[in-house]
Amino acid sequence: MRRQLSTAAVVIALAATATACNSDGVDAKPEDSASAAQSPAQQDPKGSGPAKDKPAQDQGGSLTLGGTATLKAKNGAEIAVTLKNFTDPAASDNKYMQPKPGKRWVAAQFEIVNKGQTVYDDSPANGVKVIDDQGQAFTHSIGSTTAGPNMPATVKLKAGEKALGYVVVSVPEKAKSKSVTFTPDSGFGKETGQWNVAK
């Protein structure tokens, strides 16, 4: 009986995780995702670090295109993350795979360099979000664009190695992109880089 209850609990937990994002790459709760992009000035005024409901610490501040954020993964790996390009809108390179009606694609090109000695092992696209001027955050979508090759689905970088590629994000057609964030460990890391991409 206990084994059946444990199995049921795991199934429920997996189902809840699966509903966090829909197939169009949009956060179900954008207001929660946006908290990962809080600047140091928005942390606990007592200086004790980020508020409990905002575990990620912004290491990028108000970086712009071409800026580099130095971030640490949970395993101690130190990476230099640079937003090399941001294409808005981004055209699909496959006529059979297009943004859904009322949506458009944007694409962020990141370069990730392992600056430390610990291997950086991650799925980078999972840690990317585009935030609009209303504070809504949107996650990556499946697709590729004419902007250039996608970021590999998984990377395992030794010291000095780097990865480069685009991450596609689906946003509402009328949304105005304001910033792009990157968080290691598939978005669950403690540090986040943020870049301003507002036009």
Could you read off the pLDDT tens digit of each residue along the chain, which spans 199 residues?
A: 444 434 334 333 333 333 334 345 443 333 333 333 333 333 333 333 333 333 344 455 679 999 999 999 999 999 999 999 999 999 999 999 999 999 999 999 999 999 999 999 999 999 999 999 999 999 999 999 999 999 999 999 999 999 999 999 999 999 999 999 999 999 999 999 999 999 8
pLDDT of residue 16: 37
* Dist CA 158 CA 77 (whole Å): 9
> Where does residue 196 rank: exposed (0-12), middle (13-18), buried (19+ CB within 10 A)?
middle
**pLDDT tens track for 39-79:** 333 333 333 333 333 334 445 567 999 999 999 999 999 99
pTM score over 0.85: no
pLDDT of residue 160: 96
pLDDT of residue 31: 36
The sign of the CA dihedral 21, 140, 136, 97 is: negative
Q: Is 133 left (phi over 0), alpha (psi -120 to 50) or beta?
A: alpha
pLDDT of residue 98: 94
* Dist CA 187 CA 167 (whole Å): 14
* Dist CA 96 CA 30 (whole Å): 28
**Of the candidates 132, 142, 125, which has an alpha carbon nearest to the alpha carbon of residue 173?**
132
pLDDT of residue 61: 60
